[in-house]
Chain A
Amino acid sequence: MQEPTPPSRSNSDWKKMLLLAFIGLPVTMAALIALYGFVLWGLQVMFFGPPGA
């Protein structure tokens, strides 16, 4: 027996998808890259020194 799917479900799927694809993941991507940058900078300050050739 099939559960009755609330009409909202399809709406929310779309919303979630769009939110994830256009906001959630891009923001995450930017954040991760920033984090990568900060980590690298931190490592440069602590261990590596300025980037070499």
Chain B
Amino acid sequence: MINNSRRTFLKGLTLASMTALIGPSLLSIGDAAAAPAAGAGAGAGAGANNDGWKMAGSHWGAFRARIAGGKVVEVRAFEHDKHPTEMLNGIIGLIYSPSRIRYPMVRLDWLKNRHRSNTAERGDNRFVRVTWDEALDLVYGEMERVQQTYGPSGLHTGLVGWRQTGQFHTCGNHMLRAVGMHGHTVTTAGDYSTGAGQVIMPYVLGSTEVYSQGTSWELILKHSKNIIFWASDPVKNLQVGWNCETHESYAYIEQLKGKIARKEIRVISIDPVRSKTQNYLACEKQYVNPMTDVALMLGIAHTLYSEKLYNKQFLDSYALGFEQFLPYLLGTAADKTAKTPEWAAAICGVPAARIRELARLMAKERTQLIFGWAIQRQQHGEQPYWMGAVLAAMLGQIGLPGGGISYAHHYSSIGVPASGAAMPGAFPLNLDAGKKPKYPSTDYKGYSAVIPCARAIDALLEPGKVIDYNGSKVKLPPYKMAIYCGSNQWHRQQDRNKMKKAFRALETVVSVDYTWTATCRFADIVLPACTQFERNDIDAYGSYSNRGVIAMHKLVDPLFHSRPDFEIFRELTRRFGRDKEYSRGMEEMEWVQQLYEQCRKENGSKFPMPAFAEFWQKGYVLFPKGKPSTRHADFREDAEINALGTPSGFIEIYSRKIANYKYPDCPGHPVWLEKNERSHGGPKSERYPLWMQSVHPDKRLHSQMCDSEPLRATYAIQGREPLFISPQDAKKRGIRHGDLLRVFNDRGQALVGAHVSADFPPGVVRLQEGAWYGPTGPEIGALDTYGDPNTLTQDIGTSRLAQAISANTCLVQVEKYTGKVPAVTAFGGPKEVKPK
């Protein structure tokens, strides 16, 4: 059993931290001057003795790591990162986590009975260790069987999201290239983070907006008189980035704090809870009932219209469809309800007078609206985004510096101008030109080849069902095998118990990861990849600012039997004789060097980069600051030439295209729609009075780093994920800070730790997403021992338009847990068993 080796492992960990403690005083005498910033000799060529400082990059930023005795013993933020995240403290714990996958593992019953195994046993976490060759033979054999038996509609390659960073090793490309060489698969459209936003916004503002570079912070700070953070928490969310994060936005937020204190800018955070950003900025707050933002916006719009505060000229020149929207706003449409502030106040909990005040404030001076993503992860999540754009259009400041609307200033340092330099490419995801897969069939038997990612579980439960999606019909394919690589399906997808049932329809599940996530627990074959700190790579520094290129030195050799994804998938392709084509005959460092040289060539003399050897030694190359810009300024300047990407080229307050789809849950203009469950007097609130928000976590990147024990210890309560709850709600239930709680609804139940905080209003609790799922057993309804919010959330589409996730439409009840306390099962890997 694993316990024995785990103890040894923990001992090793203790030893490592001891080394870390004594290190500076004993081990590096006379080395004190060699600060990491000096770029003290790194990486290649260090020979057998790999100790010393090395450069690394991550979603959490760049850092230098000190290696001693072949272990990572110290992590220091990159010297050019002025606002490093606390999460760097979790790096060592991530590498040496007891949850690391050590060996290729196969689920016990699957090993016995293969694709005819008892799939109801999935989740019992009993696995058998196998060799790499056995494991890859099994995966390859299954791919062969599925392509031959079912064809491409039988195999699903899961969406790859927040893979570990590094442009060469980026695991999704490796998985999709290797599997793509073998045959076609069922793939996904959209993503979990911004599913509704990225579908609705192209109809309204002509771009996904959620991933678009926004107005530069310096222009916002210079021109804005009011900034409205609408359900946006940049101070929390800017800690992580899609590529290596630079944390440059924090400098501007710091300035903003000063401007608020000097009363130069007024900042209002419209949010049910007091966010980290609000606490940091010490800005104003506007409470709003959960999920009722659209009602509040309609109330503001009504005031703007009735008090003639809106910019008619802007609407005439730059927008279409205000006339079709007006009857709804004024109460002359079918519902015969004017969306007055009084009407809105009854729903959203903001007094009518305050709504009018907000409208006047926004119209009076330059106002920048900044939206977060969480409000589009709810039922009808398209509506708040659309209505936000309508509000911004009525204010008429779109295209002006410090005005208009942004949907992404909390993401990957958007708002820091791009340097203009080219960034390194990546390992090719596609097959090389002219190459065909081993199984070239594209016969999906009438099923859709691409499904909205959030409907992947529905496809297992109701294969063949035809659903609406963004103006087209999707026929859910009955896939029988799924491959997940560097993606934790059992974190991001809603409703665990529904998933448990659905996964029984899967014959074979493969998970490639570095750590034993719940997706591994519910898989049949698990392949151990190494972490990004155990391979050489390069990455862009700053996804949007393109600040530079960063070297990612291999800090230590892959732990246990783990391997880089590149090697895993090259070995897989070797099984059908296409490994050379897969790797193009190149090894890791050749690839890294080639990606660098291509980038260097592209940047030419405009952004000079040193030769590779010099770069690798130094660890980074930085580019100068770019020119600030204003979102949609070109459109405002000339709406005809610089037309928006909407069907008309203008801002579409009313979309005929959407109206023509005739979706009841997403009509032709933004509307207030009641949710299927809503707190504060909404449906089902009597039975489950608390709204549970599952926002992006403060000390994790989704589910990444949840397994980093030292970091988890800083926030977990009684070893469980904290549930943030208001003092009022706690008192009502006799709950004290630190208590063990059971949070539950009809869909599931989880054990959590009570974190009583005055930041939360009555009726609102927060369980941050990314908490690992640790059920007591494989049975449906089993108690989750750690506190994964998706044990409780519902798996429904936002609407027929986007079919995105609705995680934030979720009501729960909370009680003090009094039963026998089960141990946390989420971490520590599988139960290793010996086959008979």
- Indicate whether A and B are direct neighbours in the complex (CB within 8 Å): no
